[in-house]
Amino acid sequence: MAAIFGAQACRQAPAHPSDTITTRDGGELVITFFGHGSIAFEYGGRHVYIDPVGDYADYSALPKADLVLVGHEHGDHLDAKAIGSLRKEGTAGFGNRTAAEAWGSGEIMAHGDVRDLGWVTVEAFPAYNTSPEKQNFHPAARAHNGWILAFGGTRVYVAGDTEDTPEMMALGARRDEGHGIDIAFLPVNLPYTMTEGQAARAVRAIGPRIFYPYHYGGTDHRTDLGRLARLIEGSGVEMRVRPLE
């Protein structure tokens, strides 16, 4: 559905596709889709941008950031100019080590680190390739980040550039403990991240309420989203496809 990322964006910038989801505490979480791996969240009047890149939006015309998250240093995730246009006094910024070093700002979060900002909780989660032929893309040794965010009791997993790692596949155990993932963003950007089959296995393991395929397109290896939808049939998970290429 087409919507506008907050009232300020309505005045200043063209609309980007967005969804509004009711959080567990009855609040509204607005998810905005800019392109590829660049998305944003608005909750309680606060704005979170993940991997903002100027190719996908004019960030200078969007609401200023309360929080910026950058999973790693690749150019389709880290754009210092876009981040600079979003900053205001008090903007928090977190990234893995390579992103923070390339960005020149922001606090380093290692895997398992958690930051509670009061209105959102952020956990840095491992993101890496497992297939031998993909080790030159996102090797585990570089410690790239995905993120688990909690807004009003609703837990959102933004996986970053990764395959279906053991850590990802173990997220279903959190569901059994009452701390499961409500919304999952899983990358299907071939050949760099997950195949349709890997993503489907991850969806079934994690068991989110809503699954968004993201970070797809822009290569010669086109993701078959129809096949992905068929592979998760019967899982009880709602798959939502939004324009990201």
d(CA 145, CA 158): 9
d(CA 191, CA 195): 8
Q: Which residues pair with 151 in a beta bridge?
A: 154
The two tokens of residue 80 are: 């210092």
Name the residue ranges covered by the structural domains of the chain.
Answer: 2-239
Would you state the pLDDT for residue 1? Answer: 35
Would you state the pLDDT for residue 44? Answer: 96
Q: How confident is the model at residue 144 (pLDDT cuts 50, 70, 90)?
A: very high
**CA torsion through residues 99, 170, 120, 31, sign:** positive
Query: Strand 2-3 vs strand 16-22: parallel, antiparallel, or unpaired?
Result: antiparallel
pLDDT digits (tens, 9 = 90+) for 24-34: 999 999 999 99
**How big is the chain, counted in residues?**
245
pLDDT digits (tens, 9 = 90+) for 29-51: 999 999 888 999 999 999 999 99
Of 16, 120, 117, the residue nearest 62 (C-alpha): 16
Q: Residues 188-194: what's their mean pLDDT?
A: 81
Pick the CATH number of 2-239 from 1.10.357.10, 3.10.290.10, 3.60.15.10, 3.40.50.300: 3.60.15.10
Of 75, 70, 39, the residue nearest 192 (C-alpha): 75
User: Which residue is associated with the tokens 């609703």?
Assistant: 154
d(CA 221, CA 94): 31
Would you state the pLDDT for residue 173? Answer: 85
Would you state the pLDDT for residue 117? Answer: 97
The answer to whether the pTM exceeds 0.85 is yes
Would you state the pLDDT for residue 106? Answer: 86
Q: Residues 67-88: what's their mean pLDDT?
A: 86
Q: What is the share, in percent, of the chain residues with pLDDT greater than 90?
A: 64
Would you state the pLDDT for residue 224? Answer: 86
Q: Please, is 126 exposed, middle or buried when counting C-beta atoms within 10 Å of its C-beta (0-12, 13-18, 19+)?
A: buried
Query: Strand 92-95 vs strand 114-116: parallel, antiparallel, or unpaired?
Result: unpaired
